[in-house]
Structure 1
């Protein structure tokens, strides 16, 4: 745990050097939050003022919280491992006296912590000023929400890790990465809440880990899932995390056995 914490800190420090990029990302997230909140409120208004349990204020709150979390959970891209596999640098990771998946997960969490502070706060502040936020008045949803966010970030990492491992067998990865971005963007609740999906699409989403990345943390933070329901959401997230991480370990071990790097 001490080593893991050290790697998390190093991941935080690494991403804290990209200050201009972080500021630009915060501005972009806030602008898109305003657009999404407006569209969401308009859709709810067109539906008669309530849609799948969301009214205008809770719908806007959903949009703003998603924008606050989109950078920490990293919906759009992570190909660091794939590039190292393609270039052969993964051989260095295999030679180090620590588990690569363990190390990359720690760095991913460190990046998430850094991204949440400067890129998560501005959208929430803008949301509070522009539309208002419907947030719980008790501390329990926030405490459980922190756990859910950590699980969501970890599930996102486990999915990206698995996608990156296709580099052991594929030369061109842009198609695979793009497919994952599309699937994650739709099925995680980034575009619209998963609760708005038609029955067949909701079933498809439930059979994937994607809702555990965004929809689940938002449900817990906003107290849409309370008490035992919130614990059930956390259990589903933990189950997906365990399953996808284990699958990632198996695939990585298989890929490492076939890896050939020039020079040895």
Structure 2
């Protein structure tokens, strides 16, 4: 019987590990990110808490505890979820280095998405988890009711990170036609956080805007994982959240694959 191949020899596993290692090389940047998360978490927590109190203790189904969970879990995810639209692929397309990527016997999409996911996974420990611990110390944030909810929350979080980076890859592929994609990145940055629930729960939006947000992949990056992680949804509702996230992950991956194939045929490097 042939021995099973070691994961360490799998090139795609190595891309994931490379992302983790690459991000770990910047401890001061990670510390600065944690400081920013804590600072803005305190400000945001005070504002959202006051909004709940002024509404009689409940706002769009949020109590003080669940709103605190929304704030601090969101702050903990900031280092892992890409709302800024930037990626290494954008620079490689602009400089022409992406031509080398296309010559390699691996998927360009998988290589870049897995590397970015690795960076996001690393940020969970030195930046994400401490942010949540700070939230637990300064507020009475809600927690999942049982171990199953914790497990589902972790799965939802990982899917949200993957959706984020797969979508940013799709944004970067526009460079195969446009070359300069800073405008597209700014548009993505403007829309993604707002529709994902970065600033306020999407359930506070007017019905038409909430419907619009739910028709995009952005809530799957933050709002839905927070719902599951905080225990705001459990059981079948949590399973439905995960199904929606998986659907969007599949959609953006397929869109990224098709865009890569189509853009590769149009790519020009140094005029030809």
**Greater CA deviation, 254-263 or 120-129?**
254-263
Aligned to 2:13: 5
Counterpart Cα distance in 1 of 2:159 and 2:132: 21
> Deviation digits for residues 187-222 of structure 1, max 9, x if unmatched?
000010111111000010011000000001001111
Q: Report how far residue 77 of structure 1 moved.
A: 3.5
Conservation of the 8 A alpha-carbon contact between 1:4 and 1:103:
yes
CA distance in 2, matches of 1:72, 1:244: 18
Equivalent in the alignment of 1:210: 218
Map Cα deviations across residues 36-85 of structure 1 (whole Å, 9 max, x no partner): 11111011111111011111121111100000001111222323111111
1:6 Cα deviation from its structure 2 partner: 2.3
Partners of 2:235 and 2:212 lie apart in 1 by 26
Q: What number of residue pairs does the alignment pair up?
A: 264
Q: Does 1:105 align with 2:113?
A: yes
2:4 matched to which residue of 1?
none
User: Given the alignment of the two structures, is residue 63 of structure 1 paired with residue 74 of structure 2, yes or no?
Assistant: no
CA RMSD of aligned residues (A): 1.4
TM-score normalized with structure 1 length:
0.96
Give a deviation string over 1:138-182, Cα, whole Å, max 9, x none: 111111111111111111112111111111222432221111011
Tell me what 2:175 maps to.
167
**Regions of 4+ moved over 4 Å:** none
Partner secondary structure for residue 135 of structure 1? coil
Matching of residue 19 in structure 1 with residue 19 in structure 2: no
Match of 1:40 among 11, 23, 48: 48
Work out whether residues 217 and 248 of structure 2, in 8 Å CA contact, stay in contact via their aligned partners in 1: yes
- Aligned residue number for residue 98 of structure 2: 90
Structure 2 distance, partners of 1:160, 1:107, is: 12
Question: Is the counterpart of residue 260 in structure 1 residue 268 in structure 2?
Answer: yes
Structure 1 unaligned regions, length at least 5 = none
- Give the secondary structure class of the aligned counterpart of 2:173: helix
Q: Secondary structure at the match of 1:97?
A: coil
